[in-house]
Structure 1
Amino acid sequence: MAQRLTHRLRTAFLLAVAVLAACAGIVLVSGQAAVVITHGVSMNPVYHQGDLVIVARASSYSVGEIAAYSLPGKDEVALHRIIGGNGEAFVFKGDNNQSVDPLSPRGEDLVGRALLHIPQGGLWLEILTSPPVLGLTTFVLLAGGSAAVTTRHRRKRRRAAVSRHISTRPAQHQVLDGLPSALRISAALGAVLALMGVTLGVLAWSGPAEEASTAQVKSGTRMDFSYTAAVGQSPAYDGTTAHSPDPVFRKLTNTVDVHFTYHGDPGTVTVRAELSTPGGWHSSLPLTGPVTFTANDYDGSVRLDLATLEAKAQAASAVTGLPSGPLSIALTPQVTSTTGTEFQPELKLNLTPLQLALTGAPDTLTVTDTTTTQQATMVPRMIAWNGVGISAATAQVVSAVLLLAALAIAVILVIVARRTAPADEAAAIRRRYASLLVRVQPMPAPQGRPLIDVTTFPTLAKLAERYGLLVLHWNRSGVETFIVQDENITYRYRAGSDPVPAEQPSELADIQP
């Protein structure tokens, strides 16, 4: 009883593993969930290098949750914590980072919210999905299938010699017929999963996971400007500091601090001011020398002395005779990135004897690089069929899941087939040698024909195969009788009773008809 219970529990467990594996593959392909392998230290101490995190799409996201979003132009995602924003634009930051993420993705653009964390699980997943491991799994399945096909072919050839007299049931159905209908359906399902897994695996591993592609790539480089000035307490402002985009009145101050925040590739930045007047005079004034930064964000500031700038314009006016005002100021932080690209945003200001004011609308305080370049990038290789496609990397994982599910089903069927043994010897003979047997009515012993009792049924089966005959059998009073009639001799084997006594050698059946 205990063994039977253990067998049922083991069978149920293996079946559950197969079903869960197949369901996991479907969920990953549909895009409702994703597997993230962590790299770097931005989320220490929550996640470390090589951890595996399962993320799933959600209808809404909240501040404090860890979520993943795709990085533009890369086959990667960022897995950081939401620290602000809403569904229109979320603000992300790594727990171990000093600054917030430069991108502000929308809620509908998020890959999903972190659900399950497996420490160092990413390292094991990379090992299990590596070409050697998946190739070995495929080889085992194909080798097992080839062995089964070879065995069936041998049985067909052997039984063809004894099937010349009567048509019998195909031998390959015997094992399946001994199983319950539910397990026969499982066998068919396992075969389908194995075929799909092998086919998808061949397509996935026959080429690289990524391929080169040329695409129009928009630069995400951006510069945010702002300025402040200490103006003291006066009726002109609500506080003691003037903020952009409000004008700065020169009766209150002649010093303005300009701040700029750069978002883009690391590199070097040099700040200069371009001065010009309506008469055509212009001059370039360096403000800061080259400063190198290694992060994707950089904050800087410069101080403008309005009186000095105006004096420079008046000195030029005295020499040229041109009007000295109004003076236009174009503050330009020139950024040269490590990739060799240059970004020169401008903050345009207008200086008069009364005030310093922003030229243009307040949205000019943010300058975005809108240039588009042809860039060769590596994109996932897609496997498409009938309008539906998945990436080769995903196909590799799915093929492994399908093959593992098929392997689990095969293990279940083998265990069940071994457990479902016939109840008695006669049933075992009928099951194993079905193609040799012909059921008949009880027969009397022919007069003058020798009758030989054999000790085992395999011996009787060999005699039938040798002479190209079938085995006749019947049941009488619980005794199963099997005979092979040659031209001169009758061979007999009985199952379900003791051997026939020597004084009754002439009877084929216990009771004559």
Structure 2
Amino acid sequence: MTSPSKVASTSALAALVLVTVWLFLPTTLGGSMTYVATHGTSMEPDFHAGDLALLSPADGYDVGDVVAYRSETLDTVVMHRIVSVDAAGFVTQGDNNDWLDEDRPAEEEILGRLFVRIPHGGQVIGAVSSPGVLFSLAGGMLVLLGGLHDPRGRRTAGWLRRRRAGARSARGPARHAHARTRSGFATSTRGRARQVAVGAAGIALVAAVACGVLLALPPTATETRTVDVTQRSDFSYSGTAETGTTYPTGAVETGDTVWNRLVEDLTVTAATSVSGPDLAGVTGTVRLDVLVAAQDGWSAVLSSGPVAAFEGGTASAAVAVDTDAALDLLRRHQEETGSSGGGGTLTVTPVSETTGTVHGRPFTATPPAGLVFALDDAALRPLGTEAADLSPSTATPVEIEEVGPRSLQLLGLSVPIGTARKTAGAALLLSLVALGAGAWVSRTGRGDVSDRFLVRHADRILPVTSFQPGATVIDVSDAESLHRVAERFDTVVLHHAGEEEDTFAVRDVDATYRFVVPVAGDRRRGRPPVPAAQPAESTTVVDGRLRGLWGQVA
């Protein structure tokens, strides 16, 4: 490509970037785009809390447009839909509201019409704009820029080399100067930094995927739970009886046996109540029916009491029980069917039509069971006198749908999605910072084949000032092949930093495997002189490792 072509392409790209920036530049910075982070539920289901809306000005606005304006009533920016126009201005309403907005914005007061919606964009901006995240991002960017700039570390290395040269002139020559790179970081340190960078990259990838998934999930979830609406009837009965041994007070009380010859005016009463969480609007009626049943399964309604209305969730109904009429009805059935004589049952049953709402959901309550007596010619006996028999109740299940913050189940714990997003974002941020720092430390150096090999396999490198090769020397084709040889023999790689070349070697019993990397001329001048080889004992320690096993090492 010729120079004029390059200039034209660069100019076109710059113009495209400028136009894009201008189009999306917010009004606070002199642009025309209005950014609105949604709150509340007034625009559901199209918008949810935490979404980001971009609105741009238009030449005109019509019914159906989603617009934003500054509300004088609420003293904030409102984004709703235009539903009509009157003399005062545009009439707006939230899609999820059943009322109209009080404000009537004029055309010049509208900030813009909906251009694009970004799900959860408001939450991302809110999280990123927090001071802690901003400082962390700034630090991470500085580290990354430091790692990207001057990747071979020439300027930094030169400064450190000049500084160390002045220090060496005062202290004398360093014996193992080659153990430290020209950047000032030891090879082992750079190797560990590389491992940190690789681990941080893996964590960053996982955290980025987690952030994407968590941001894609809606912040709220609809949960269905079941609540019970309980209707209970507390039964009691009373009557007038002949005073005597059986009824000393002349009255029948709840729980007593009703002897037909002695009792008159028997009345059964049921106090019925409805209970439940967040109960409202309970209405309805209740009455008591007297039901007679035979042992063969036949039953019939003997009588019904007056209807009582619910007030405040309670109602009290009563019915008179005529035992003689009940026995007469039972005998007539037995005579008609030719069945053998015997007793039956008499049940006082509540019949109700009760409705209301619980947590805003409508319900129709189920009436409880009745009070059961055994009926025969002699008496009317309650079949149970326990609390459950005298106060039966029924539960009507009502399914409640509630919209609340979404939670995630993690290792048996319920974690709110907001907490999960912040945790994933913090993990991503910290891993990026660690990745940038590790990459910068591990890449600061010469950057040639020798340097990369030293950093990648620092845990297996043994620096030496000199060594004596064996009788057989085998030159391998590349450094990684030499590393595989060291792994197979489970031994270290000897490294000698010469003035003109870096030599890596692996000693076996009869052979020496070697890989030589020439040093470029512009770097050879900065390499410190190699100390003269010194005679060593059969076993000498260098950098914490035994080296007498490879021959003459000083």
Structure-1-length-normalised TM-score: 0.37
- Higher Cα Rg: structure 1 or 2? 2
- Larger RCO of the pair (alpha carbons < 8 Å, separation 6+): 1
